[in-house]
A and B are shown apart, each in its own frame.
Chain A
């Protein structure tokens, strides 16, 4: 069990990031900003994972020859987040591609404007 108390401040950061990300996605009419919001949101999760791996006085989990050298921070979340970042990047790419397509079709990347444009379709 990882000690929650010691990591409480990172926990607040996570909450803040998630909140900001969600807020941007909800409130911004700009698609690109929404995507940024999504990235912020994901980042919050990344931070959450990474911070969960933290161990007081832990070292980077590189096992020295002959073993030992601990305590280490947990390597597993870091590995996971590496993967997640890759996924996130691909998603961002696809999303931006879609925004480009939308801009080509409708000449706007603003959701409200887009609604008006599409209402005339």
Chain B
């Protein structure tokens, strides 16, 4: 019975987008309200369907009554359920911050919901071409959201992202084309058997794999295909940065995982080991170079962006290694990274709103003035570094365990080293925040307001207008920190929930 509700996961936000536009005719607030409602409903729906999928096994439905493999199939298994819930929850949470931070406008909310549509669609679809469509919907919404900052920079970054993203999606489409030529089907489950029939070493299959991986790797922003990402993250509005940093690449990486294991299946890697080696090498390089680049950034959001390059490298390494532990680790890190990075971008946004500080140096002394915000950010950063018991550790543990069990020693070394690489840039920031003398911007933000007089807010100079972070931003950052730790603690429960899915995924 719940199967039939699956299309709602896509339809609801899509419809919501239309509604938001309509409501926006009345007022911007109404659009925001509609968006909130829709996302809340989406969260509930995702949660319910997700739990069904986890408890009772995968749900699937053929859209419009066409049965698979001829029609478009929507599938929710444990993995996509997790991603769905993540998308819904994060987008709802970030919306709280977006309503007070973003440039607003009805269009913004419509784009926001459109993005959720695309992401949810990518998560539930069981059809490779359908995936392309959702990929492009996601892309379109993202480009628009990045540009919604209204600045020239954001427009340039959005354009860069657009061109690059489109080419990447086109490559993916090309890959789909090769697969189609090889098999004549687009359904993922069907492709799995047909590709095997076509022979994994046939040029068509190999070509399809190559194009698809390169296309999705670009969307995931692995080095050196990441070049769109720092610009986009840095120039987007802060709430958008938070949203896309948390979700867009995450879902792209999910798609990569889905394609590799549902479509190509582990047997493909068995038959074509070079494919796995390529992916592992690619991702390992990404880990190292991303971190190095992050260390060299002076701007916070760019640093966080490069950090993502590195972290997704870790995720992809995990999924490429392909032992159950490693894949589970990749999923954990995927989810955890979304929470942590989202929280950090919200924090960066809140800080910028408060003090105008956007560079590492300007962060000096921040924690003395905003102890809770600083503390929660520090927790998130340390979680990302991999300090237990936070989720960053859990993901790394499983990935490392998988790498060691698979005997891929160089990769294991890189994985372990990634802790230090991550530390390299975050420690720098923590040090600035906690033990450096306060920078001018931080001082300016709190001068006069420090004595606890709320009235002075109104008198302050315009960009740093408040003397303490907004409740919502604070709640989000603290919430992210808490979730990052809780996720780490309950990781074994997550493991139990996802185990059947991953076992199915990895069964040859």
Q: What is the minimal beta-carbon distance from B237 to any residue of chain A, in angstroms?
A: 15
What total of chain B residues lie within 8 Å of the partner, measured CB to CB?
Answer: 29
Q: Give Cα A77–Cα B181 distance, bound, in whole angstroms.
A: 10
Task: Determine if B159 and A42 form an interchain contact, defined as CB atoms under 8 angstroms apart.
Answer: no
Instruction: Tell me which residues from 28 to 48 in chain A have a Cβ below 8 Å from any Cβ of chain B.
Output: 31, 34-35, 38, 41-42, 45, 48
Residues on the B chain within 8 Å of A84, using CB: 132, 173
- Shortest Cβ distance from residue B57 to the other chain A in the assembled complex, whole angstroms: 30
Taking CB atoms, residues of chain B closer than 8 Å to A9 are: none
Q: What CA separation (Å) do A83 and B144 show in the bound complex?
A: 20
**A13-35 interface code vs B (CB 8 A; 1 in, 0 out):** 00000000010010000010011
Q: Is the CB–CB distance between B156 and A102 below 8 Å? A: yes
- Asked, given contacts A80-B129, A91-B136, A114-B156, whether A98 binds B143 with beta carbons under 8 Å apart, the answer is yes
In the bound complex, residues from chain A placing their C-beta under 8 Å from that of B180 are 49, 52, 76-77
Residues A102 and B159 in contact in the complex (CB < 8 Å), given A41-B167, A87-B133: yes
Separation of A106 and B133 alpha carbons in the complex (Å)? 33
Minimal Cβ-Cβ distance residue in B for A91: B166
Residues of A within 8 A of B156 (CB): 98, 102, 114, 118
Nearest-Cβ distance from residue B112 to partner chain A, whole angstroms: 15
B492 part of interface (Cβ distance < 8 Å): no
Min CB–CB distance A95 → chain B (angstroms) = 5
On whether the beta carbons of A94 and B144 are closer than 8 Å, the reply is: yes
- A80 contact set on B, CB distance < 8 A: 129, 186
Contacts of B184 in A (CB 8 A): 74, 76
Q: Which residues of B contact A105 (CB under 8 A)?
A: 151-152, 155
B263 to chain A minimum Cβ distance, whole angstroms, is 17
> Which residues of chain B have C-beta atoms less than 8 A from A48's C-beta?
174, 177
Assess A38 versus B159: contact at CB under 8 Å? Given A83-B133, A106-B152: no
Q: A52 touches which one: B129, B133, B140, B177 (CB < 8 A)?
A: B177
B contact residues around A56 at 8 Å (CB): none
Closest residue of chain B to A52, judged by CB?
B181
Please tell me if the beta carbons of B159 and A45 are within 8 angstroms of each other in the complex. no
Taking CB as reference atom, which chain B residue is nearest A37? B163
Decide if B143 touches A102 in the complex (CB within 8 Å).
no
Query: CA A83 – CA B143 in complex, angstroms?
Result: 20
Cβ A45 vs Cβ B174 within 8 A? yes
Interface pair B153/A42, CB less than 8 Å apart: no
Query: B163 and A35: CB pair below 8 A?
Result: yes
> Contacts of B152 on A, CB cut-off 8 Å?
101-102, 105-106, 118
Bound together, the chains give a CA A43 to CA B139 distance in angstroms of 19
What are 19 A-B pairs at a CB distance below 8 A? Answer: A1-B181, A2-B181, A22-B167, A45-B170, A45-B174, A52-B180, A52-B181, A77-B177, A77-B180, A83-B129, A84-B132, A94-B144, A94-B162, A95-B162, A98-B156, A98-B158, A101-B147, A118-B152, A118-B153
9 closest residue pairs by CB, A with B: A105-B152, A101-B155, A98-B159, A87-B136, A102-B155, A98-B155, A52-B181, A95-B162, A98-B158
